[in-house]
Amino acid sequence: MSVLDDIISGVREDLSVRTAEAPLAQVRARALDRAPAADALGALRGDGRTLSVIAEVKRSSPSKGALAAIADPAALAARYEAGGAAVVSVLTEQRRFHGSLADLDAVRTSVDIPVLRKDFTVEDYQIWEARAHGADLVLLIVAALSDAQLEHFLGRTHELGMNALVETHTAEEVERAAAVGSRIIGVNVRNLKTLDIDRAVFADLARRIPQDAVTVAESGVRGIGDVEEFAAQGARAVLVGEALVRGEDPEAAVAQFRAVPVRDLPGLQQR
């Protein structure tokens, strides 16, 4: 069993508990009672000149273990926003990342910018649940979904006025993401089966992403040098967790990353 398979198995077990406690009808009602979702796509497109930053509230990871205690996720998110983050990402997977929906609730009340619910989406329920807790985006991992699931889940997010960060790892997954009309496509340079990092994969996959989609570089950011490299290779946004939660001044780090200019690359496909 791969690491991704193992994580999803745990996600399904935890999901079964939540669905028993809060039936879909109840979660749907809460989701539909929320104020409209924020425009995450517009936030990530930004001014078109400098990089957008998705700053992550992340306590732990399968590859590194404990990263930071983060006693006050709301305060951390507020610092991200003050630094100019376009989006705050909140891990809600509890077994490997030690996140929770309570973290999502806390962050939602502390910032005005869009919030990404970062989890392993395998059921429609989770998208309704994300909106019920105020998320504006969800994560859809192409490697974890069939084409039919990917299209359905993406449609559900749009139906609820939300957006999805559609995560890819291979050229074939980029093609699948583009085929269903994904507007925000991430390239994760971490192999979710082995957890190895290979930053070299980003440049090739970024060129395959349709020009009208927002290209997001995920994982592997150690500092400003990696951010600049991803931007030079076509990233319009970068998702950063570990480097921020382990750093001394997350607000200043976000501001530094946010100032990196983006670069237009030739040869990007059109839809």
Report how far residue 129's alpha carbon sits from residue 62's, in angstroms, rounded to the nearest whole number. Answer: 24
CA–CA distance from 255 to each of 192, 235, 249 (Å)? Answer: 29, 17, 10
Condensed to tens digits (0 to 9), the pLDDT of residues 27-39 reads: 999 999 999 999 9
**Three-state secondary structure readout of the chain:** CCHHHHHHHHHHHHHHHHHHHCCHHHHHHHHHCCCCCCCHHHHHHCCCCECEEEEEECCEECCCEECCCCCCHHHHHHHHHHHCCCEEEEECCCCCCCCCHHHHHHHHHHCCCCEEEECCCCCHHHHHHHHHCCCCEEEEEHHHCCHHHHHHHHHHHHHCCCEEEEEECCHHHHHHHHHCCCCEEEEECECCCCCCECCCHHHHHHCCCCCCCEEEEECCCCCHHHHHHHHHCCCCEEEECHHHHCCCCHHHHHHHHHCCECCCCCCCCCC
Report how far residue 61's alpha carbon sits from residue 225's, in angstroms, rounded to the nearest whole number. Answer: 22
Structure confidence at residue 271 (pLDDT):
44
**Does 15 have pLDDT greater than 60?**
yes
- When pLDDT is averaged across residues 245-251 and rounded to a whole number, the result is 92
Structure confidence at residue 4 (pLDDT):
87
Report how far residue 257's alpha carbon sits from residue 254's, in angstroms, rounded to the nearest whole number. Answer: 5
- When pLDDT is averaged across residues 252-266 and rounded to a whole number, the result is 91
Structure confidence at residue 108 (pLDDT):
98
**pTM as predicted:** 0.95
Q: pLDDT band at 1, cuts 50/70/90?
A: low
Condensed to tens digits (0 to 9), the pLDDT of residues 212-223 reads: 999 999 998 999
Could you tell me the domains of the chain?
3-259 (3.20.20.70)
Q: pLDDT band at 63, cuts 50/70/90?
A: confident
**Does 149 have pLDDT greater than 60?**
yes
- Structure token digits, residue 170: 């291979």
Which residues are known catalytic residues? 56, 58, 118, 167, 188, 218-219
